[in-house]
Amino acid sequence: MSDQHQNLAIIGHVDHGKSTLVGRLLYETGSVPEHVIEQHREEAEEKGKGGFEFAYVMDNLAEERERGVTIDIAHQEFSTDEYDFTIVDCPGHRDFVKNMITGASQADNAVLVVAADDGVAPQTQEHVFLARTLGIDELIIGVNKMDVVDYKESTYDEVVEEVTQLLKQVQFNTADASFIPISAFEGDNIAESSENTDWYDGEILLEALNDLPEPEPPTDASLRLPIQDVYTISGIGTVPVGRIETGIMNTGDDVVFQPSDVGGEVKTIEMHHEEVPKAEPGDNVGFNVRGIGKDDIRRGDVCGPADNPPKVAETFQAQVVVMQHPSVITAGYTPVFHAHTAQVACTIESIDKKMDPSSGEVAEEDPDFIQSGDAAVVTIRPQKPLSIEPSSEIPELGSFAIRDMGQTIAAGKVLDVNEK
Ligand code: GDP
């Protein structure tokens, strides 16, 4: 075990093997008890799906998390010599892309899974684009399912070339990307160098993970805790739960919830079913605040110190990148914004500047519209109160996804908040 912590995203097109890889990583690092694996293996064999045990492990963990005791909202974890990794979000999740952008799922680095027999697919593009927009430091590309293509070097090379082109297209520095031929299913080049790929002499996956750069040190910003859910627990009362993004929470602190605009003194903090006197960034906590009832606060509120409360935006200016939109985006457009745990309809009030995505220079002032592939600075007016922070002050609370028609159509970072 090490005390360096990393949030790791596993990204890639559906069915390319993300869940299988997570199961494999947990398994190889001894993070899942053997008897649990065994149980799933038997279950899988009974259903005639021999070999599916890792996906089963994933399903089981996700399920446990959902049905689990309300306060325990921890994610999957495994360790290498260098780092304790938390896999952010469950990759099978429908809302993965959205979650990747908002709050709890912010990752330091990512593993991109690309199936060797399929190559770059639509979600591969989407996820790489997001990784770049959100400032993922390094990308490890697992060219997966090598067993399906008979471990052919030429197929691997083709996929590497295809992904390299994609990275260049979105201006991701290819020096920050490393490629590994793997089979999540068979375990090739995950924990041990595989004889099936004797033409490959680079790092195996666990080595590459171990050699990732250290995450940026957390900001010394004051407490920001986006509320994920609010429960009523007998004997305690109202218990909001969420993950501390920045700052420290101590019992006895005076806190407020914004935009609900209520507050009080922190009476108790609970983590992993135990009472603790204080909690810090990355901790998933349930806590209780004197005088706060279940209906006073809701998911999407942000808890912060009473003397440095979370900002509530009347309007805010942001840099956005449009990923996919069937037509054009003009002023007046009102999609749903997902920021940390909040979902609020917001109107794009004005499109202020269009940027040249490669140079970052202003390409056009006050453009009439923006479309897929464009980067722009826009002014946004939330239709309901929204707590959000400038990315330069609190990056953890300064990014958002824009969703419409069941898709993530854009991602952005907050430049400036005009407070209510
Ligand atoms: P996800 O949607 O990206 O999470 O993909 P899954 O992990 O659910 O995998 C999709 C399918 O591909 C499942 O049937 C897996 O068993 C299979 N699969 C995943 N990795 C490999 C691999 O390395 N080799 C082979 N042959 N199949 C794999």
Instruction: State the Cα–Cα distance between residues 318 and 101, nearest whole angstrom.
Output: 14
Q: Which atom of ligand 1 is nearest to the CA of 184?
A: 23
Given the DSSP bridges, would you call strands 399-404 and 362-365 parallel, antiparallel or unpaired? unpaired
Whether the bond into 218 is cis, omega within 30 of 0: no
Q: For position 103, what pLDDT does the model report? A: 45
Burial 302-315 (b: 16+ CB within 10 A, else e): bbbbeeebbbbbeb
DSSP state of 46: H
91 labelled binding-site residue:
yes
145 labelled binding-site residue:
yes
Q: For position 64, what pLDDT does the model report? A: 53
Closest CA to 134 of 398, 402, 406, 335: 398
Find the 222 Cα to ligand 1 centroid distance in Å: 42
Find the 186 Cα to ligand 1 centroid distance in Å: 10
- SS3 at position 45: helix
217 labelled binding-site residue:
no
Find the 324 Cα to ligand 1 centroid distance in Å: 27
Q: For position 73, what pLDDT does the model report? A: 28
Written as one letter, the residue type at 376 is A
Instruction: State the Cα–Cα distance between residues 128 and 167, nearest whole angstrom.
Output: 7
First-residue to last-residue Cα distance in the chain: 46
**What sign does the dihedral 390-396-397-398 (CA atoms) show?**
positive
Closest CA to 369 of 351, 355, 356, 381: 351
Find the 215 Cα to ligand 1 centroid distance in Å: 29
**Beta partners for 53?**
none
The widest CA-to-CA distance across the chain, in whole angstroms, is 66
Instruction: State the Cα–Cα distance between residues 67 and 49, nearest whole angstrom.
Output: 25
Indicate if ligand 1 lies below 6 Å from the C-beta of 247.
no
CB–CB of 346/301 below 8 Å?
A: no
Q: Which residue, chain included where needed, has tokens 């099936």?
A: 196
Residue of minimum CA distance from atom 6 in ligand 1 = 17
Indicate if ligand 1 lies below 6 Å from the C-beta of 55.
yes
Q: Which atom of ligand 1 is nearest to the CA of 188?
A: 23
CB–CB of 385/312 below 8 Å?
A: yes
Per-residue pLDDT tens, the chain, 420 aa: give them.
456 888 888 888 888 988 788 888 888 898 876 776 677 677 777 776 655 556 566 566 556 545 433 222 235 789 999 999 988 754 444 455 555 555 444 678 899 999 999 999 988 887 887 777 666 778 999 999 999 999 999 999 999 999 999 998 777 888 889 999 999 988 999 999 999 999 999 999 999 999 999 887 666 889 999 999 999 988 889 999 998 989 999 999 999 999 999 999 999 999 988 999 999 988 889 999 999 999 999 999 999 999 999 999 999 999 888 877 889 999 999 999 999 889 999 999 999 999 876 566 788 999 999 998 788 999 999 999 999 999 889 888 998 889 888 877 888 889 999 998
Q: In 261-341, where do the E strands start and end?
A: 262-271, 274-276, 278-279, 284-289, 302-305, 313-322, 336-339
Q: Which atom of ligand 1 is nearest to the CA of 16?
A: 3
Find the 58 Cα to ligand 1 centroid distance in Å: 12
Burial 87-109 (b: 16+ CB within 10 A, else e): bbbbbeeeebbbbbbbbbbbbbb
15 labelled binding-site residue:
yes
Best residue for ligand 1 mutational test, from 10, 21, 185, 197 (most atoms within 8 Å of Cβ) = 185
Burial 125-159 (b: 16+ CB within 10 A, else e): bbbbbbbbbbebbbbbbbbbbbbbbebeeebbeeb
Other beta carbons within 10 angstroms of residue 54's beta carbon come to 26
Ordered domains of the chain (ranges, CATH)? 5-211 (3.40.50.300), 225-305 (2.40.30.10), 312-419 (2.40.30.10)
Q: In 72-123, where do the E strands start and end?
A: 77-79, 83-87, 109-115
Backbone angles phi, psi at 128, to 5 degrees: -65, -40
Indicate if ligand 1 lies below 6 Å from the C-beta of 185.
yes
Q: For position 52, what pLDDT does the model report? A: 53
Residue of minimum CA distance from atom 10 in ligand 1 = 15
CB–CB of 229/299 below 8 Å?
A: yes
Find the 19 Cα to ligand 1 centroid distance in Å: 7
